[in-house]
Chain A
Amino acid sequence: MTNILRLALPFTIWLIGFSAIYALQGLTCSRHWPEELEPRLALIGGAAVFVVIQGLALAALLALQSQSRFVQTAATILGTAALAAALWTVLPVLTITVCG
């Protein structure tokens, strides 16, 4: 089972991170957001945390090798791809107005 989880982990983190950033964006544009906090900074901060966690996940997969070679290769591919996906999907945070 842990080997299955190993395969599922990288993109699950991506999904959670991506949804969290989207939720954060929704929150920054909502009535609950405190005015003195700059939305873009919060989003960039959130995105940075997301990317770092995604990177850590890859590092962990590489550090704690699976006893199955097949699983290890597939997990490494997935970890790298998920990191690339995380970088690509948070890019808009840098370039686009937050609530317009």
Chain B
Amino acid sequence: MTQKPPRRGTALRLHRQLERIWSPDPRFRGWLTTNNNNDVGRLFLAVATLFFVIGGLLAMLIRAQLATPGSAFMGPEAYNQVFTMHGTVMMFLFAIPFFEALAVLLLPGMLGTRDLAFPRLGVYGLWVYIFGGSAVIVAMLMGLSPDGGWFMYPPLSSAAFSPGIGADVWLLGITSIEVSAIATAVEIVVTVLRYRAAGMSLSRMPIFAWYILVVAVMILTAFPPMILGSLLLETERALGWPFFQVENGGDPLLWQHLFWLFGHPEVYIIFLPAAGMIATILPVMARTTLLGYGWVVAAAVSLAVLSFGLWVHHMFTTGIPHLGLAFFSAASTLVAVPTSIMIFSWIGTLWKGRVQMKLPMLWLLGFFATFVIGGLTGVMLAIVPFNWQVHDTHFVVAHLHYVLIGGYVFPMIAAVYYFQPLLTGRFHYFRLGAVAFWLVVPAFHITFLAVHVVGLLGQRRRTWTYDEGQGWELLNLIASTASFVMAIGFALVILDIGITTFSGLRGKRNPWGATTLEWAAPMPSPAYGFASIPIVRGRYPLTDDPDLPQRIARGEGYLADTSRNRREALIVTTTTGKPLQVAVMPGNSALPILLAVVTSTSFLAPLVQAYWLSALALVGVVIVALVWVWTTAPRQSEGLVDAGHGARLPVAAESPDPPGWWGSLFLLVADGVHFGSLMFGYAFLWTVAPNWPPPSYLVPTLLPVLLALGGAAALAAGPRLAARAVATGHRTALALVLSLFGALSLATAAASVMLARQDPAGHAYDAALWLLAGHVGFHAALAVIMLGYLALRRISGHGLRVGEARIVSLWADFTAATGLVALAAAWLPGTFA
């Protein structure tokens, strides 16, 4: 950094100015309008912890019921609800939100930036999660929970066998939570790729950033199949579209495919953030650096993709051909390779360092002891004949808890202890943490070793009770007793962290001697994070330059100039980390929470058959979203601004690839996977559903085909021309009209499919056609809304930016391309039949 002699008081003055610019609104209002990652992340973390407690209480109810044979504590109806809710709450309301919360809190610090790329999107995601999660819990308290297990297999979850709204609560509530996860994932991806310290090239990124990048991309590709599955099942339940009903051309196996296309990657979506935390904490605890950084990155990437090729191993007992079994057995054994690379990297790191037995380290040892066993039983389960033997027994339950608790909960506790000084500025002074550890870990092993054994002896999972005299009594009693001890231990952990947060000792910066940037910020981190954007020259900036924190505070990095009086962050090139643009971050606003309210209303209103309210809320979504983008778009051009260090950079919103363009790109990745899943479902039914072919196929006529082709061409060309016109200062009206014309013709072609087949409830084929056409219609409508926005922007005299036109162009391309594929898929079988 520059060698200006430090002036006394500079840091303090800078701090005051930045504090004024970045601080949330005062008092209670601040909680509703803040979008600062510190506030959002804290609330996120607290809510996720609350759901862990709820899930844990449900687990205690399960174990209480199973403690003795023939127990009268719960009947089968209650038991079904309790274990379904336990699995659902733990997987969807605790595990995923919890690491997302940590990422929201920690990523900006680790990357050396001031906030996440889309702070308001983060707030939106948080509140959609809070509303959706609360709805699920409220329904449970009213006795209306789902009871079909956390994977909701039809036909059990269909309208015929699960009447009432339990299954709908699950489908709608969980889908809204997935929407929220996708919002956060988009935010994370763009942040890691673009918002970093100057000079932070890919190879200098902290390892957690790699892991969380990989995980966020996995969320974008794994959740859409599940969202599609929920959409299909909900339309079947509500409207009778028979996607999973064999008599009418559906196939319940389709659900299993869609669910596990999500469900298996989900396991790694949960494990990889934990692995990222381990790779972050372990080297610091061992006073060394991570062994084999490049190998670990490669292992994380390969594990992420491999995990998408394993889904059928959850379906080994569904009667698929042997060759199919062999494929997935082979692929499943493969994941042991990258996992082992990670484990060896950790062991090697411990080996080359000097381990300090601090509390986070203790929990990491708990992880090692547990996860290795879980991995071994996982490999056992990947072997088909063994899998057949223990399928749906408590052996599987024990395996999955070894992986989830050992591989996720323990590392996350280590992470919370490790980052607590950074997040709260306080240190623990009681030995409560160690006591809790020695309660939880041994009790955990006693519980689930016993559960392994009863599983091998044949006890079925998801079964409310068992008979005496099978030799299971003692083991179950041991498991239940130990699980209560474990629960007390977890309660002590939460208590310990709570006590420290509110009354721990204040301490000095960077107590563990960490090497990464988050520890260069003041403790606890102020709203603005860094007083100036750091400049890094290696992977371990705090080792390279121990004075870095002071330099940052004195404003010797980028963007220390507060005279523009707004929140600014640096955008860098993805590979090299060279400063590229200045991003202007949005201020406090109630819009995100408002958008979350209307979104959640439109998701949850159908639960009480208030379809009109749902539709109304959808209109609200459009309006609020438009106001949101309208008010954040820049008003006048600034040209280049001074970013410090002699760099004059463009403002991001004025560049051809503003953050919104990148966000759209990754949102479209998710949308594309959703569309791909839809095509997969259609092809699946066409190939294997028993009651096919349908009574008749749709035979296309010339006009709709021409409309589709012409519409797609116009929709692809129009926005491009508009973007070019904006760039060269020409008139955009004609291009916009052309685009509008394209969107409308595409929509008309889609409508023709629906008009030709008026009974989507008749056969799964017709239902699929309606969904394909619906996909086209929905995206055409989106295109129309976006074009309307561009037109309004122009007419109102605000002027258009190239970036805005290019964002619309991106969506229009997607609409045109998937529209053509969808309509071709609808028309082809009839053409050749």
Contacts and interface: CB of A to CB of B under 8 A. Distances in A.
B755 interface: no
Main secondary structure of the interface of A (DSSP, over half): helix
A4 B214 CA distance: 11
A43 B324 CA distance: 12
A1 B306 CA distance: 22
B322 interface: yes
Contact of B193 (A1, A8, A96): A1
Given A78-B298, A96-B323, A26 B687 contact: yes
A92 B574 contact: no
Contacts of A14: 305-306, 309
Nearest to A69: B203
B298 A98 contact: no
Contacts, number: 110
A45 to B, nearest CB: 15
A71 B304 CA distance: 17
Given A15-B308, A74-B298, A81 B337 contact: yes
B321 A22 contact: no
B286 interface: no
Interface in B259-311: 294-295, 297-298, 301-302, 304-306, 308-309
B575 interface: yes
Interface string B308-347: 1100100000000111101100110010010000000000
B688 interface: yes
Interface residues of B, number: 34
A87 to B, nearest CB: 10
B202 interface: yes
Nearest to B217: A8
A82 B305 CA distance: 10
A82 B575 contact: no
B309 A74 contact: no
B203 A30 contact: no
Interface residues of A, number: 45
B201 interface: yes
Contact of A18 (B294, B301, B331, B576): B331
A77 interface: yes
A68 B203 contact: yes
Contacts of B576: 68
A68 B687 contact: no
A51 interface: no
Given A4-B574, A14-B305, A100 B321 contact: yes
Contact of A11 (B305, B322, B575, B687): B305
Nearest to A68: B575
Contacts of B202: 3-4, 68, 70-71
Nearest to B539: A70
Contacts of A25: 321, 323-324, 327
A98 B321 contact: yes
Interface in B72-94: none
B301 to A, nearest CB: 6
Contacts of A96: 322-323, 326
A99 B321 contact: yes
A8 B304 CA distance: 10
Contact of B302 (A1, A11, A18, A92): A11
A53 interface: no
A12 interface: yes
A47 B574 CA distance: 35
A29 interface: yes
B327 A78 contact: no
B321 A11 contact: no
A78 B302 contact: yes
Contact of A26 (B193, B306, B688): B688
B301 A78 contact: yes
Contacts of A57: none
A39 B323 CA distance: 12
A89 B334 contact: yes
Nearest to B576: A68
B337 A93 contact: no
Contact of A30 (B304, B331, B688): B688
Interface string A61-84: 000000111110110011001100
A7 B304 CA distance: 12
Nearest to B328: A22
A45 B297 CA distance: 33
Contacts of A91: 330
Contacts of B203: 68-71
Nearest to B326: A92
4 nearest interchain CB pairs? Answer: A70-B203, A92-B326, A11-B305, A77-B298
11 contacts: A7-B298, A8-B305, A11-B301, A14-B305, A23-B683, A26-B324, A73-B294, A78-B298, A78-B301, A85-B331, A89-B334
Interface of B: 193, 201-203, 294-295, 297-298, 301-302, 304-306, 308-309, 312, 321-324, 326-327, 330-331, 334, 337, 574-576, 683, 686-688, 692
